[in-house]
Amino acid sequence: MSSSMYRRQHQLKVKQAMDSQKKAADLRTKEATKRQDTNRAQTAAQKTNSPATRKSRMNDASRALTAADKYGKDASELEKKAARYGSEAADLQVKIAKAEQAEADQAERQRKRQEQQRKTDDLRRAREAEAERHRIHDRLSSTEAKADDALRKLAAPKPEKLRVLMLGASPEGDLRVGREQAKIRRAVERALHREQIQLDVRTAATTDDLLDGIARFRPHVVHFSGHGQDQLIGFEADLDEHHVGVVVTIDSFASACAATDTPPVLVVLNACETTTAADRLVARFAPLAIGMAGEIDDTDAITYATGLYASIANGHSVNSAHMAGKAAVELAGGEYELPCLVAAGDVDPTAVKLVKGPGKDAPA
């Protein structure tokens, strides 16, 4: 309930308390008057020698006393009501304070969301300007550069399962990459086209896991969960104890992913501050890439990834799956603006479906 509604209730209770107190005071005045009448009638009865007059005065005293008792009883009831209304008003005052604090907190959260949205919009506009510069450069580039760009285009679909290489790295043990991988697996297992997806899950992933996964598994999708910063991501070393990990540049990561006859169609960097890295992956080889526009909460990252792969496994386009992941974060009250989808200039993410029903073309 809002503070304004509590405030209206408080005003009503205060008015009811004041009205009850006023009525009780009026009745106390009447009670006092009747008790005075009682005393006068009793005194008059004691002074008279006439039996008839004494009886009449005693009757007057009895009626006055009865009226005084009634006024007193009614006044007591009104005083109790006034006290109850006062107590309820005090309780409402506490609720008003709490509601005002909650509204202030909500306003602050809204301000932060708007500020984050502004930063995201600025970043998006900067990426669009950069993409426009790339498009102009592409139009002016040499025939050899155009040929290289043609090699990056999506190959014709083949009838095979979607292969997803999942790499999780948390050398210091501060990220729940295992939970993220488990939730993605469960989401895929519940999906409409679950038989059309094959997962290769590498927990505590090293650079050797990356190279081995690319060479032997030949994934259509590479999903990295861990720490990132601008154009750096962190893998684990082959150690049992907690450690700082192995820092990898996004260019070396791109080189590893592209070292195959069939490079991945989509690369997901579920790590903080990786939109620049996603842009770089698309510039190097990937038709589609996803990164985070800031520091994303671990829970939001897990929620987004789960929604993304659930939608992909249900046969939706990459763009729709991306929007589904963001919607899941928004419904959970998280920072849904952070995940960003980047596409090559010749690729429409709304038309790219990585999973299709049995008997239909599967992904490239």
CATH (one of 3.30.70.260, 3.60.15.10, 3.30.430.20, 3.40.50.1460) for 153-343: 3.40.50.1460
Written as one letter, the residue type at 92 is: L
Q: What is the pLDDT of residue 138?
A: 67
For residue 173, give the DSSP letter: S
Torsion angle, alpha carbons of 203, 318, 126, 152, to 10: 90
Q: Domain ranges in the chain?
A: 3-109, 153-343
Q: What is the pLDDT of residue 124?
A: 87
Q: What is the pLDDT of residue 145?
A: 45
pLDDT (tens digit, 9 = 90+) per residue, 314-364?
A: 999 999 999 999 999 999 999 999 999 999 999 999 999 999 866 554 454
Mean pLDDT (the chain) is 90
Cα separation, 54 vs 49, whole angstroms: 7
Cα separation, 163 vs 363, whole angstroms: 9
Residues (pLDDT < 70) of the chain are: 136-159, 357-364
Q: What is the pLDDT of residue 151?
A: 41
- Token pair recorded at residue 352: 């790219």
